Structure 1
Amino acid sequence: MIVEQNVPLQAHNSFGIVAKARALVRVRSEADVQQVLAQPDQRDVPKFVLGGGSNIVITGDVRPLVLKVEVPCKRLVDETAKAWIVEAGAGENWHDFVTWTLDNGFPGLENMALIPGTVGASPVQNVGAYGVELQDRFESLDAIDLVTGKLFTLEAAQCGFGYRDSVFKHVAREEGDFGLAGRALILRVRFRLPKPWKAVLGYADIERKMHETGITNPTPRQIYDWVCAVRSAKLPDPRVVGNAGSFFKNPTVTNDQCQDIIAREPNIVHYPMPDGSVKLAAGWLIDACGWKGKSVGNAGVYEKQALVLVNRGGATGGEVVTLAKAIQTSVYERFGIRLEPEPVVV
C-alpha cells in the first residue's frame, strides 16, 4: 500500500475543478483497504471514497484520506435458463462495462449506456435512464466496512433503492439505523440480465429514433446506439466541457399539485407514475426560469440542456454551488418546488 501525498484531483472529477487530495490510496482489492485500517495513523482518520468523480462538486482541497477505487473485473459469474449473472469491479468504467456486456452477448443494460462514472457508484446513485434503473438489473454487491475491515454482501432488498437513492447515501444516526454513507466501500457489483431479452421502449427520444429509422423491433445494440446518440446530442462530453451530468433530480409531486401547476403552466413536461404521483422535468422548470445559457462566474447552465451545469473554464466549486442555489431559489419562487441536487458537495 502506497499513500500518495498532494495528489491533483482535476483529472479525477468530471467538473474538472482544480483541487488536491492531501493523501490518497489506490484501492484495487479489499486487501488494500484492510492495510489502511491496519495502520494506526490511518485507521481512525476521516475517509472519502472516490470513484469516477462524476457525481461530486469539489469546493477545496480534500482533507480526508481519499480511497480511490480502482478494483478491476468483468466476468460472467453464472448462467441459468432465466438470466445471465455478470460481475464487474467497482473501478470499471460504467459505459465500458455496458459495452462489454453487449459485446459478449449479455443484453439488458443498453438503456443505461453512456452514463458517466464507475460501476461502484452505480448502486449508490441507483443510476437509470430511458425506463431502466440499476435496481431493475441488480443481483448483489460486495463491500467492505471502513470501520471493521470486514467484507459483506448485500442483496437488492438491503440496499434501500429509491429514485437516485440508496442506503449508501444515508448516515446511520442512531443504533438500529441501516445507513452506510461513509461506512462502506463497494468492491464488486453483480447484475441479473434476464432471459429472454425484452426491449424497454416508450420514452419519447427512443420512439423518435424508431420512427426515424423505421425499426419497430430494435436489437439491444440498436437501442444502445440510439441512447448513445441521444445522450451525445443533449449532454456535453466531460472530457471537453466539465460537468456532472444531470445536476438536479426530477421532482415528484401529487396529482393535485401537478394539476395546479398545469393550470398556470400548460406546457410543463410531466410524467404520471404508477403510484399516482407525477414526476416533473427539472430541466423544463429551470429553462422556464430563464437559466439556460446563463452563468455565475465561470460556472454556467448548458445551452442545450438546462439540467446540466458546466465548467466554462476555471470554475471553482464555490461558483458551481452558488449557481445551483440561485437556480433552486428561482424554481421555488416560481413553482413552489424545491429542486434537490444529485452531486455530492465535497
Structure 2
Amino acid sequence: MNIYKKKLINNSLRLNSIANYFIELTDKNDFIELHKFIKNKNLPVLVIGEGTNVVLPDIFEGIVVKPYFNEINFSEHNNTISAGSSVNWHELVIHTINNNIVGFENLSSIPGSVGASPIQNIGAYGQEVSNLIESVDCYDYINNEFISLNNEDCNFSYRDSIFKKNNFLIYKLNFYTDSLKEHNLEYDSIKKYMTSNNIDPKKISTHDVSRMISDIRSITLPDPIEVPNAGSFFKNNVVNKSDIKLDKFSIDELVLWEIDSEKVKVGSARLIELIKNELTKFDNVDIYKNHSLVLITNKNANQKNVIDFAEHIKEKIYDTFHITLEIEPTVISN
C-alpha cells in the first residue's frame, strides 16, 4: 500500500483536483491496513478508477483510494470470466471477443475501468453491463468485511446501482460468458450504420460489431484523451408523456421511447439541441459540437464551472419542457 499526500487526481474532465491523501492498493493483503488508516483518519473516502465519470472539487479533503488489480481469468466450470477492477473496460471487451464470447461488443470503447462499470450500470446501443454481471466482489473498508454480491443484490437500474451509496471497494467482477448467443443489432444507429455501409447482419462477426460500435461512437463522442469530457452528462428521463410541456415545441420534435401507455423515456440530447441557442455562455465549459449530452472543458475549468453550466442547462430544460434532467457523472463533494 502506497500513501501520498497532496496528490493530483487524474480525471477525464481534466479538472485540477488535489487529494489530501491518495492511496494505491496493489494487493488484497493491503485491505486491513487500509481499514485501519481510514478508521484512524476519520475522513471521507473516494474510490477511483480512471476518473472518467466523476466531477471533482479543487481539493478533496478526504482519502482517495485507487486499486490496481489487473488480472483476467476464465472459469470453464461455471462459464464466467473474472476481471480485476483496474482492468481497462475496452481491453476486457477485446479480450472477450478474442475468446469468442458474445455480449460485450455493444459496450466497446466506453472509457473507464472494469470496477467503475457496475456503479453507473454502464450501457450503450441496447446493452447494459448488468445483463452480463454474475457477481461483484467487494471490500467494505469501514466494517473490514469481504462481500460478494450476486446480480440481484446489486440493485441495478438505469445508470444506477447499490454501489453509488456504500462503503464498498470493488476489486473483482465476475461476468457470464454465455449470457447472449446472438448479436444485438436492434439499436437505430446500428441499423443505420449497417444500411449505409452495406453490411449484412447475417454475416457480421463479433469483431465487426465491436469495430462498428467504436466507429459510431467516434463520430459523435469525443475521446477524453483528446477532448476533456465525462461522457454523457445527463440521463434520459422517464416521465409521464402528458406532463411534458409543449408550449414552444411539438411532441414530434422530441425523441421518445415508449415505456408503457403513459410513460416515455425522453432523449435528453434532443431537448438540449432544441434550446441550445438560448443558453448563456459560461467560462471554461461548453457543449460538444457533435453531441449535446457531452460537456467539454478547457485547462482552466473547475468543478464550479461545470456544475454551474449544468444547472443552467437543467433550469432552461425545466422551464421549456417541465422535465428535470439528472446529472449522470458522480459529483464529488467533501
Length, aligned pairs only:
330
Consecutive unaligned residues of structure 2, counting only runs of 5 or more, are none
Aligned-residue offset at 1:186: 0.6
Structure 1 equivalent of residue 187 of structure 2: 203
Contact between 2:105 and 2:209, CA under 8 Å: does it hold in 1? Answer: yes
Q: Residue 77 of structure 1 contacts residue 85 of structure 1 at CA under 8 Å; is this kept in 2?
A: yes
> After superposition, what is the alpha-carbon deviation per residue over 1:287-334, rounded to whole angstroms, capped at 9, x for unaligned?
111159974101111011000000133211110111100000000000
> Residue 6 of structure 1 aligns to which amino acid in structure 2?
K
Q: Is the 8 A contact 1:282 1:339 kept in 2?
A: yes
Q: CA deviation at 1:41?
A: 6.7
- The 5 A counterparts of 1:253-268 are 253-257=239-243, 264-268=250-254
Q: Say what the alpha-carbon RMSD is for the aligned residues.
A: 2.2
Structure 1 Cα separation of the partners of residues 145 and 236 of structure 2: 36
- Asked if the contact 2:275/2:317 (under 8 Å) is kept, the reply is yes
Distance in 2 (CA, whole Å) between partners of 1:39 and 1:7 is 17
The aligned runs of 1:102-181 (5 Å cut-off) are 102-170=97-165, 180=166
State how 1:263-278 maps to structure 2 within 5 Å.
264-273=250-259, 277-278=263-264
2:235 is matched with 249
SS in 1 for 2:6: strand
Note if 1:338 corresponds to 2:333. no
What is the CA-CA distance between 1:75 and the residue it aligns to? 1.4
- What is the match of residue 238 of structure 1? 224
Out of 196-205 and 150-159, give the one that drifted further. 196-205
1:198-251 alpha-carbon deviations (Å, 9 max, x no partner): 111111110012212231222211111111001011011101110000000001
SS in 1 for 2:111: coil
CA shift in 2, pair 1:259/1:110, >3 Å: farther
Partner of 1:36: 34
Question: Does 2:201 match 1:216?
Answer: yes
Equivalent residue for 1:175? none
> Percent same amino acid at aligned positions?
29
Structure 2: how far apart are the matches of 1:59 and 1:291?
A: 29
**Matched residues in 2 for 1:78 and 1:260: separation?**
55
* Correspondent of 2:49 among 22, 41, 51: 51
Report the AA paired with residue 157 of structure 2: G
1:286 aligns with 2:272: yes
Query: 2:199 corresponds to which letter in structure 1?
Result: G
Deviation at 1:150?
A: 1.2
| C-alpha contact (below 8 Å) 1:294/1:300 kept by paired residues | no
| Matched position secondary structure for 1:290 | helix
Per the alignment, residue 70 of structure 1 pairs with 68
TM-score where L is the length of structure 1: 0.89
Report the CA distance shift for 1:44/1:195 in structure 2 as closer, same or farther (over 3 A): closer
Query: Residue 266 of structure 1: SS of its match in structure 2?
Result: helix
Which portions of structure 1, spanning 4 or more consecutive aligned residues, are displaced by more than 6 angstroms? 259-263
User: Residue 335 and residue 158 in structure 1: after superposition, are their counterparts in 2 closer, same or farther (change >3 A)?
Assistant: same
SS in 1 for 2:61: coil
Contact 1:293 1:303 in 2 (8 A): no
Structure 1 SS opposite 2:19: strand
Aligned twin of 1:173: none
2:182 aligns to what SS in structure 1? coil
Q: Residues 104 and 261 (structure 1 numbering): CA distance in 2 closer, same or farther, change over 3 Å?
A: farther
* Distance in 1 between residues matched to 2:174 and 2:119, nearest whole Å: 14
Structure 1 unpaired stretches of 5+: 171-179
Q: Secondary structure at the match of 1:31?
A: helix
The residue identity in structure 2 corresponding to 1:77 is S
Answer with 84-93 or 241-250: which moved more.
84-93
* Partners of 2:13 and 2:180 in 1: CA distance: 39
Structure 1 residue aligned with 2:4:
4
